[in-house]
């Protein structure tokens, strides 16, 4: 299922947390900006006679990235959920369109990343030492004529984590000028990355949260235009007994 959304969409809500489907192009939060996820959620809370200032962002997504984002409804809930994310007790799944298709079907990749100042912001670069560890599982789920439909399971939440991982594999995300260059950037109006799903324990022991954000329509349409078919088993768990090496056409484990 895919949707075209021009404003945040509620995926799950209870007394302690709110999970939204963030549209591409929206900032999560910014001072003096009205068109942000946090501002939208607080305005919604106000319309429901709730305290808008009680809402807190638990994690962040880049402006171009669509998909699941979590907000807490109190400072206590924000602290508990923040600890869950920082302690890596969250299963996160992303999908991306890449050009070209990664050379291997499945890979575990590890990098050390360090931020470098550039004009207008920061860029993460792969270094040999004195960086932060970024680990991911990457799996090609489908192929178009030129593009790969790729699932990425990041183990941490580093800045530009997935964008760097795929670019370093020689398969940058379509639309990503920063890590893919001009030709890759011209293929789409945004970075084709979607936060597909989140799984984590409820902060008050009320069971296990599992939520999926419908695929963004622009991502699906672009892949279909390339002759690709979105796989039906999009959310199956990675096979835990999958061998870690299968040769050049199978899987690959690498450390940078």
C-beta of residue 197 within 8 angstroms of C-beta of residue 210 = yes
When pLDDT is cut at 50, 70 and 90, the band that residue 225 belongs to is very high
Candidate CATH numbers 3.50.50.60, 3.40.50.2300, 3.30.2350.10, 3.30.1370.30; the one for domain 2-233+241-255: 3.30.2350.10
When pLDDT is cut at 50, 70 and 90, the band that residue 254 belongs to is low
When pLDDT is cut at 50, 70 and 90, the band that residue 246 belongs to is very low
Give the residue among 73, 29, 27, 66 at the shortest CA–CA distance from 48. 73
When pLDDT is cut at 50, 70 and 90, the band that residue 232 belongs to is confident
pLDDT 10s digits, 123-139:
999 999 999 999 999 99
> What share of the chain has pLDDT > 90, as a percent?
82
pLDDT 10s digits, 138-190:
999 999 999 999 999 999 989 999 999 999 999 999 999 999 988 999 999 99
Longest dimension (CA), the chain: 59
Q: What is the mean pLDDT of residues 62-85?
A: 97
Separation CA 22–CA 60 (nearest Å) = 10
pLDDT 10s digits, 86-104:
998 999 999 999 999 999 9
Length of the chain equals 256
Q: What is the pLDDT of residue 216?
A: 95
> What share of the chain has pLDDT > 70, as a percent?
89
Domain ranges of the chain: 2-233+241-255
Peptide bond into 179 cis (omega under 30): no
pLDDT 10s digits, 3-44:
667 899 999 999 999 999 999 999 998 765 668 999 999 999
Question: With a threshold of 0.85, does the pTM exceed it?
Answer: yes
C-beta of residue 103 within 8 angstroms of C-beta of residue 170 = yes
Query: Cβ of 207: how many Cβ atoms within 10 Å?
Result: 8
Residues 20-44: b if buried by 16+ CB within 10 A, e if exposed: bbbbbebbbeeeeeeebbbbbbbeb
Pick the catalytic residue from 14, 15, 62, 176. 62
Cα separations in angstroms, 24 against 87, 122, 162:
27, 20, 16
Active site residue 168: no
């Amino acid at each position: 299922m895919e949707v075209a959304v021009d404003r945040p969409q509620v995926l799950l809500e209870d007394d302690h947390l709110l999970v939204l489907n963030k549209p591409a192009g929206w900032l999560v939060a910014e001072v003096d900006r009205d068109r942000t996820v946090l501002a939208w959620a607080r305005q919604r809370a106000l319309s429901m006679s709730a305290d808008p200032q009680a809402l807190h962002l638990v994690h962040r997504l880049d402006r171009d990235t669509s998909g699941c984002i979590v907000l807490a409804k109190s400072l206590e809930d924000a602290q508990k959920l923040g600890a869950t994310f920082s302690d890596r007790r969250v299963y996160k799944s992303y999908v991306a369109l890449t050009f070209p298709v990664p050379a291997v079907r499945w890979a575990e990749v590890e990098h050390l990343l360090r931020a470098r100042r550039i004009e207008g912001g920061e860029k993460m670069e792969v270094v040999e030492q004195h960086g932060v560890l970024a680990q991911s599982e990457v799996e090609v789920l489908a192929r178009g004529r030129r593009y790969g439909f790729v699932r990425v399971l990041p183990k941490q939440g580093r800045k530009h984590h997935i964008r760097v991982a795929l670019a370093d594999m020689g398969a940058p995300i379509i639309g990503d000028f920063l890590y893919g260059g001009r030709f890759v950037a011209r293929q789409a109006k945004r970075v084709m990355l979607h936060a597909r799903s989140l799984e984590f324990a409820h902060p008050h022991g009320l069971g296990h949260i599992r939520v999926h954000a419908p695929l963004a329509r622009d991502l699906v349409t672009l892949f279909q235009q390339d002759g690709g078919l979105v796989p039906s088993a999009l959310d199956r768990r990675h096979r835990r007994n999958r061998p870690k090496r299968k040769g050049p056409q199978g899987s690959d484990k690498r450390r940078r």
